[in-house]
Amino acid sequence: MPIRRKPTSVDAFIQGGGKEPTPAESSSDQRPIEPLKLRVPADLLEEIDAAVVRRRPAPSRHQWILEAIYEKLEREG
């Protein structure tokens, strides 16, 4: 990693920042992600959170919900 001098101003710091990854640099095995707003009853969310903390290592709530969706799709597939 090359050693660079400290930027002299905030603007110089910002201009020296990184760049966005090109398609060749991004992971090719990932599918496009669509945001989804999910409304869940509070008591169900509490049960999900309890299930998440019981797992070691505990996944994120997001990951736990995705796993549940994949499991359901496999059963019905």
pLDDT tens digit string along 44-61? 999 999 999 999 999 999
| 0.75 surpassed by pTM | no
Distance in angstroms (rounded) separating the CA atoms of residues 1 and 74: 46
Is the pLDDT reported for residue 26 higher than 60?
Answer: no
Q: What is the pLDDT of residue 75?
A: 96
Compute CA distances 70 → 8, 34, 50, 66, whole Å: 51, 16, 20, 6
Chain centre to alpha carbon of residue 36: 13
Q: Which residue has the higher pLDDT, 29 or 17?
A: 17
Burial of 52 (0-12, 13-18, 19+ CB in 10 A): middle
